[in-house]
Structure 1
Amino acid sequence: MARVLGSFIAAVCLSVQAVSASPAHWSYRGDQGPDHWGELGDKLCSTGQMQSPVNIDWREVTSRSVDSDALRVDYQVLPMEVLNNGHSIQAKPMGETGLSYMGRHYRLMQFHFHTPSEHQFDQREYPMEMHLVHQADDGGLLVLGVMIEQGEANDELADLWDVLPEEEGGEARLGLLMAPQLQRLLPATGHHLFYDGSLTTPPCTEGVKWVLYEQPIQLSASQIQRFRELFPDNHRPARALDGREVDED
């Protein structure tokens, strides 16, 4: 947390921008990969004590400590702008929609994908993970994390997958009829896990509220392979919890 509210908001705004338009000096490989992000100017990536992603050890989860009504997702169907930012495929809603958590409203800024999953459950990783990044009026961040397993083709993402920009900087647009219905895309059953962490890309800003869905969604083998053709590996390895509590609703 920044000492001054203005500095905090500025840092958070920078963090959201970093997810969508990060400098190209960092990557997921070699001497610009995750182990070196702290050396590339984003020191918090190596010195932070509340970093994400993490491995969820079910033996350490505090069960039922969060009210099941604390999270209320209310996504509207909106046209989407799709961008290949060199680190992932990012989709941005063209309009306002979002969720509330603990009575606080968060606007959906964008969602993007990682392969393999960044979060793990008892050391198990999934083929992919989707992050939906939200921001409150005061700059606070909340990210929904949804694991993706191989299975049936995902119809909600089919139109998005058809227009995935292949080149860095490439853009596409999904009209209202082609845009995914995010409310349907999210798992309909299962619990949520809650913990305090960071962005998983530079500048690795901390103070981010994470909500992980316990139940995964599915993409087909061909859909997963299509993404991996563009991004063979764009995940940050799990970081230590360092005593942080993981709660479940």
Structure 2
Amino acid sequence: MKLQSFKVLLVAMAVASATSIQAAEWSYEGENGADNWGKHFATCGEGVNQTPIDIKGTVKAELSPLQIDYQGKVREVINNGHTVQANVEGKNQLIIDGDTFELQQFHFHTPSENYIGGKQFPLEVHFVHANADGQLAVIAAMFKTGPRGNEAFNTLLAKVPEKDQIQPLQDDLNPADLLPREREYFRFNGSLTTPPCSEGVRWFVMREAQAGTEQQIDSLHQVMGDNARPLQPLNARVVLE
């Protein structure tokens, strides 16, 4: 397979990880809701390393700093009916375990899917990366409500399209603007949080929650509704911090 073709495949795979799967309809409630995903996507029901989780009972470890180098920008914003997703362009890399992952897209969940110490947040952002072998790594950042919001949200919210529409973003928006300054994190092995719930995903959840105004967070919630998968069992996994 040519390199360019392989890159296209990676992008398609990453987009599918947070968008609709054409093989079967799914949603967050009702007949096709999360409780029934396993009927059409076996791993959603039978997997033992599923995400999201409640992050607690962590184990202390010497975690290497995340080497996040986002130099690119958001190219377009998509409303696919499940989430609001931002596709990116340019050099946007995550280096971890000596391996380089390219940022494919980031998207939103209201409320948060992962919990920290039993606490759910009103908003969670997932930054989906892929390496040259097609392995995935996700950085998750939480948002809480506060009097001062995130300026990057204003740029993004001004371009949120209607369902099943794509809106180009002309303004420069660096994905790093939606990450906290402090980069301490929790780490665990998990899965995609949407069908097909594929496992083997490296998860890095930022410990510091950022602030967004109630209006900013409500604006996203009005578009997406509740799009958080229920918590999954930790089973034999260890969460490092």
Q: TM-score, normalised by structure 1?
A: 0.87
Partner residue in 2 for 1:139: 134
CA change 1:190–1:109 in 2 (3 A) is: closer
- Which of 74-83 and 141-150 deviates more? 74-83
* Aligned-partner Cα distance in 1 for 2:154–2:52: 27
Q: 2:10 touches 2:130 (CA, 8 Å); kept in 1? A: no
Q: 1:100 touches 1:106 (CA, 8 Å); kept in 2? A: yes
Q: TM-score, normalised by structure 2?
A: 0.90
Gaps of 5+ in 1: 1-9
Per-residue CA deviation, residues 146-201 of structure 1 (Å, 9 max, x unaligned), is 011111221012111111112x21111112xx232222331112520000000000
CA RMSD in angstroms, aligned pairs only: 1.9
Q: 1:117 touches 1:128 (CA, 8 Å); kept in 2? A: yes
CA change 1:53–1:93 in 2 (3 A) is: same
* Aligned-partner Cα distance in 1 for 2:113–2:186: 15
The question of 1:27 aligning with 2:27 is answered: yes
1:30-109 equivalences under 5 Å are: 30-39=30-39, 41-57=40-56, 60-67=57-64, 69=65, 71-109=66-104
Q: 1:93 touches 1:108 (CA, 8 Å); kept in 2? A: yes
* Aligned-partner Cα distance in 2 for 1:11–1:206: 16
Superposed displacement of residue 98, structure 1 = 1.6
The question of 1:124 aligning with 2:123 is answered: no
The question of 1:148 aligning with 2:143 is answered: yes
Superposed displacement of residue 204, structure 1 = 0.1
Partner residue in 2 for 1:159: 155
Amino acid at match of 2:175: L
Q: 2:189 touches 2:237 (CA, 8 Å); kept in 1? A: yes
Q: Per the alignment, in what secondary structure is the counterpart of residue 62 of structure 1?
A: coil
* Aligned-partner Cα distance in 2 for 1:125–1:245: 20
Superposed displacement of residue 16, structure 1 = 4.5
Per-residue CA deviation, residues 73-94 of structure 1 (Å, 9 max, x unaligned), is 0001324211001100000002
Per-residue CA deviation, residues 17-51 of structure 1 (Å, 9 max, x unaligned), is 24244337100011111100011x21100100000
Q: 1:26 touches 1:37 (CA, 8 Å); kept in 2? A: yes
Superposed displacement of residue 112, structure 1 = 0.2
Partner residue in 1 for 2:168: 173
Per-residue CA deviation, residues 52-105 of structure 1 (Å, 9 max, x unaligned), is 000011xx21113323x3x20000132421100110000000234221011100
Gaps of 5+ in 2: 1-8
Superposed displacement of residue 107, structure 1 = 0.4
- Which of 11-20 and 101-110 deviates more? 11-20
Superposed displacement of residue 143, structure 1 = 0.2
Q: How many aligned residue pairs are there?
A: 231
* Aligned-partner Cα distance in 1 for 2:213–2:137: 28
Q: 2:103 touches 2:127 (CA, 8 Å); kept in 1? A: yes
Q: Per the alignment, in what secondary structure is the counterpart of residue 246 of structure 1?
A: coil
Partner residue in 2 for 1:202: 195
CA change 1:12–1:62 in 2 (3 A) is: farther
Q: Per the alignment, in what secondary structure is the counterpart of residue 73 of structure 2?
A: coil
CA change 1:106–1:15 in 2 (3 A) is: closer
